[in-house]
Structure 1
Amino acid sequence: MGNAHIRHLLTMSNPDRQVYWAQNHTSIWPKIKKHLLYAPLGRNRHNKEIQLSSAISIGTLPSRFHTLLLTVYLFSNIAYCLVLHWGTESRAAVIAELRGRSGELAALNIIPTMLFAMRNNPLIPLLRVSYDTFNLLHRWCARVCAIEAIVHTICYLVNVADSVGLDGLRDNLAIPSYAWGMVGTCAFTVIMIQAFSPLRHAFYETFLNLHRFLVMVALIGVYVHLDKHHLPQTPYIKFVIILWGLEWLSRFVRVAYFNFSLKSGMSRAHIEALPGEACRVTFELARSWNYIPGSHVHVYFPTVGLWSSHPFSVAWAETKPRSAPLEIEMEKLPSWNMPKHQSVVSHYKTQIADSDGPEVTHVSLIIRARSGMTRQLYERACASSNGMITLPGVME
């Protein structure tokens, strides 16, 4: 069997056999793609927003495979929480078991929640899974994590209130480990509320910055809560904090490398107003960037929105020398054996490019003026005399 497989691989380089890759050699895989992997949830609506009105959206309809994946994930977490020793006579023991189970799952689910949210997720190139799919999984993992944290806290409150009363509960919450655990749960609750789709889309920039701050508060609260009790789940949170820190560090280094230079300074963006309430934004990066078709970038304009970061598709890009080619005027002398009365000295110009000089990549985006930062860019460009402005900008 091994020799047959090797022969099969070696003969694939024959041009006459390249048609092999255009044919289906099994009837199962095409059906799986048609009815599961690429199929919409219903009949026609494929990854469409669920609109309550023209201005209010409550989320995106997942595909059939995404729905199956999320259903298995949700019901498995429910099963992990509810498979308890229900035959135990002590009500407090069952609640304590549910508290421990939900807390363990909440801490564990923080790992995929953070991993799926990373802008430079290493799983995207490894698994060939899109950023949108990981974003969908991130939202559902975060919801499950927040609900399990709330269940964990409620179970703790019920058992403590039953055993020592409300006054004892108040004293118990003054203990640093429990107080920080409550801080983490409150942060998770606010995150879940503010991430509701209509609120998220209506105030996206506010949502994004507040979201990051609340995540930091939640991680600190959970870490202190676990560390004070020396619980075995502490390495989970340490791993998440290290992962998040490394992701931010890698993004900072990458942004600094492509957008800052000792010679040319910070990269700049040339904004040109276009008809139809749009503008062309061209970034001149400090160094050359190896762009590929279908690339998208996140852009920052410190003078327009200091904390704003928006994704856009790349319209086109080109890499060329930073300095203009050197233009030289040359004379072409007549041939030595040509008669004097026929000799003519011709002049012509040529350009010499510095092949060893630094190169710069120009990346152009077409941005529609909507609200917030995009509207400000368009209005500033329109207000200029020639319809063009230049601003400091950073591209990621």
Structure 2
Amino acid sequence: MALSTRMLLAALFPLALAEASQSTPAEIAHQQASYLENVRICKYSAWTWAAIIFVVLVYRWTRTLLHHIRQLANLNGSLHDGRQRYFSMPDQRWAHVKSSIIIAPLLRKRHNREFNLSGAVNVGTLPSRLEAIVLIGYFAMNIAFTVITINWRDPGVWYEDGISRTGVLAVLNMIPLFLLAGRNNPLISLLDISFDTYNLIHRWAGRMVVFEAVAHMAFWMASKIAKQGHAGWTTIGKAMASSEFILAGTIGAAAFVAILFQSPSIVRHAFYETFLHLHIALAATAVGAVWIHLKLLPPGPPWPSFLFAAILIWVIERFIRLVSLIRRNTGRGITKAQVEALPGDSVRVTLRISRPWTFKPGQHVYLYMPSIGLWTSHPFSLAWSSEEVDVNSDKMPTNRQDVLASKKATVSLIIRRRTGFTDRLFRKAEKSPLNKFTTTAFVEGPYGNQSFESYGTVMLFAAGVGITHQVPHVRHLVAGFANGTCATRKVILVWVIQSPEHLEWIRPWMTEILGMEKRRDVLKILLFITRPRSTKEIHSPSASVQMYPGRPDVGALIEKEQHNQIGAMVVSCCGTGSLSDDIRKSVRDRCERTEIDFCEEAFSW
């Protein structure tokens, strides 16, 4: 019994192990009760997360079911048979919830528009109101779990309780920290929440881990100073120099603090690749130090298993990515990328995938090009997919298998020149013969997908290279209208570009779309040129493809389409932060009149 008590004391308060023999029975009983309370706190935290996931899951399943019912009900309906009209009428209470919480910005209007100190210095964006509620709730939960059941009236007690409680919570929070950082996070598809949102929560979970780790160390230092006065500083220094346990904890805390100061948006955006490599190195240092810190505890408490779970999540996610990379890019040859420089500081990347997949709107991939970016990867929306015949094959196809083998699936991206990887990619294409070059590439993904098939009216906004996200929706919905597999009866594409030369980015794809069956019955395209060289550049080819100078009045455009709305309506945007914020406000102002949803596509890091 004495040995087990000493082991429990070491697990609870390893720094006080030397004084364990002087502990009174009352102190030992308190320490045992504190250990059990920490275990209960961990269980409360787990149940809280489970409850949140369950609620979101029920919401997601209900929403998916209602959208499916709406799509089935309107597959064969005409414009005037009443079915589409029924689904255009909003539920006022739900519309108010959408307007005030779900799609609302944090304050008045600004959400995705970045705060820029200069053209090259970006300090980030504001979370949405719903994201802020989640983050505030997460912080409130952790603060509550830190302070409850601790006797704050007795300094001799709360120092030791604070040490153990903050240490336990710091390790516990590393599980969601690692889970939400992964591209293959199962909650993305399970809850239909974007990686962008999970990445936001990951950053704040990381900050919580840092705060808890710093508090853990501060409680320990304060306890020494409270007991020994100025001599406590000497004790602290000796412990850091001579105790492997204390040294490992100090290194871990220092690495966490370094991550905190290394990861703000202003650093990430200005030096992303440097940030990424340093971030991984510091995280590995912190995890290794905490692992040593916990392994020096006697066996028994579950705290090391929390860290092991976090590490296991990271290992499994990386293993899945590696297997996906190998499987996707090897087989019938290696994936190749043809890179072509385009007007407007952009490139078109055509990927000949070794093992293709079923292309769906809303997908994106992570692209590796070792000759340009070594081992780094970058996310890009998939703009187009097609099949091409392998003209270099020496074998004449003689059967169906040969015909299929001679066809190569390709997917295409449009990448705008910025800094780092995209700048090097553009410059190499620009200097190559015919402004083209071919290189080995590796594709990770695809990730995500998005369906607007249950909406009668679909309005797609894009600015600049954001068109890559919307073109697949246009092709899919026009085809679905022609073959009767979707409820969509109106598709309006609004594209804002600086110059007519940017039309070259998607000209071959748009030519194919304009030639699709029944396209004129469903699709309308509005082009806005913000910096035309002359008015002669502005001309509308037809009634269904119109071109205008200047920026669009998004509120007026949405108002016009809402007035003639067919069925439920969705407004999607992919572009600049200011455009997204304008569209969000316009939808919020009108979502209580008819059934209208808002969908925003954005990559952030």
Question: Does the pair score TM above 0.5?
Answer: yes
Deviation at 1:24, TM superposition (A): 5.2
1:45 matched to 2:113? The reply is: no
Amino acid at match of 1:134: Y
What are the residue-to-residue correspondences of 1:21-170 with 2, within 5 Å?
22=87, 26-83=91-148, 84-88=150-154, 91-161=155-225, 162-163=227-228, 165-170=232-237
Is this contact kept in 2: 1:120–1:247, CA < 8 A?
yes
CA RMSD, aligned part only? 2.7
Is this contact kept in 1: 2:393–2:406, CA < 8 A?
no
Is this contact kept in 1: 2:245–2:296, CA < 8 A?
yes
Is this contact kept in 2: 1:272–1:381, CA < 8 A?
yes
Structure whose CA Rg is larger: 1
Cα 1:381–1:179 shift into 2, 3 Å: same
Is this contact kept in 1: 2:122–2:270, CA < 8 A?
no
Partner Cα distance (1:351, 1:257) in 2: 26
Is this contact kept in 2: 1:181–1:225, CA < 8 A?
yes
Deviation at 1:59, TM superposition (A): 2.2
Give the structure 1 partner of residue 276 of structure 2: 208
Give the structure 2 partner of residue 198 of structure 1: 266
Cα 1:327–1:75 shift into 2, 3 Å: closer
Amino acid at match of 2:255: A
Partner Cα distance (1:360, 1:44) in 2: 46
SS in 2 for 1:386: helix
Partner Cα distance (2:375, 2:412) in 1: 22
Amino acid at match of 1:117: A
Give the structure 2 partner of residue 384 of structure 1: 432
Partner Cα distance (2:103, 2:193) in 1: 13
1:310 matched to 2:378? The reply is: yes
1:364 matched to 2:408? The reply is: no
**TM-score, normalization: structure 2?**
0.56
Is this contact kept in 2: 1:113–1:138, CA < 8 A?
yes
Q: What is the number of residues matched between the two proteins?
A: 362
Cα 1:25–1:55 shift into 2, 3 Å: closer
SS in 1 for 2:362: coil
**Higher normalized strand content (fraction of residues):** 1
Give the structure 2 partner of residue 259 of structure 1: 329
Give the structure 2 partner of residue 334 of structure 1: none
Amino acid at match of 1:166: W
SS in 2 for 1:304: helix
SS in 1 for 2:371: coil
Q: Unmatched 5+ residue regions in structure 2?
A: 1-65, 445-605
1:293 matched to 2:361? The reply is: yes
SS in 1 for 2:123: strand
Deviation at 1:28, TM superposition (A): 2.2
Question: Which deviates further from its counterpart, 307-316 or 25-34?
Answer: 25-34
Question: Which deviates further from its counterpart, 12-21 or 244-253?
Answer: 12-21
**Identity of matched residues, %:** 36
Amino acid at match of 2:215: V
Amino acid at match of 2:124: G
Question: Which deviates further from its counterpart, 168-177 or 142-151?
Answer: 168-177
Amino acid at match of 1:357: A
Is this contact kept in 1: 2:120–2:270, CA < 8 A?
no
Deviation at 1:237, TM superposition (A): 0.6
Is this contact kept in 2: 1:287–1:359, CA < 8 A?
no
Give the structure 1 partner of residue 560 of structure 2: none
Partner Cα distance (1:326, 1:305) in 2: 34
Deviation at 1:97, TM superposition (A): 1.4
Q: Unmatched 5+ residue regions in structure 1?
A: 1-8, 329-349
Partner Cα distance (1:271, 1:104) in 2: 50
SS in 2 for 1:290: coil
Give the structure 2 partner of residue 6 of structure 1: none
Give the structure 2 partner of residue 283 of structure 1: 351
Partner Cα distance (1:137, 1:158) in 2: 31
Q: Pick from 292, 311, 320 the counterpart of residue 250 of structure 1.
A: 320
- Residues 288-347 of structure 1: CA distance to partner in whole angstroms, max 9, x if unpaired? 22221111111111122213211111111124565678998xxxxxxxxxxxxxxxxxxx
SS in 2 for 1:59: coil
Partner Cα distance (2:159, 2:218) in 1: 9
Deviation at 1:35, TM superposition (A): 1.0
Partner Cα distance (1:327, 1:204) in 2: 46
Amino acid at match of 2:193: V
Cα 1:356–1:276 shift into 2, 3 Å: closer
1:373 matched to 2:439? The reply is: no
Partner Cα distance (2:182, 2:94) in 1: 31
Is this contact kept in 2: 1:288–1:319, CA < 8 A?
no
Deviation at 1:359, TM superposition (A): 5.3
Is this contact kept in 1: 2:105–2:129, CA < 8 A?
yes
SS in 2 for 1:370: coil
Cα 1:327–1:257 shift into 2, 3 Å: closer
Cα 1:25–1:364 shift into 2, 3 Å: closer
Partner Cα distance (1:135, 1:14) in 2: 37
Partner Cα distance (1:377, 1:69) in 2: 39
- Residues 190-213 of structure 1: CA distance to partner in whole angstroms, max 9, x if unpaired? 111100111111100011111112
Is this contact kept in 1: 2:336–2:353, CA < 8 A?
yes
**TM-score, normalization: structure 1?**
0.83
Partner Cα distance (2:323, 2:338) in 1: 24
Q: Pick from 282, 298, 302 the counterpart of residue 232 of structure 1.
A: 302
Amino acid at match of 1:55: A
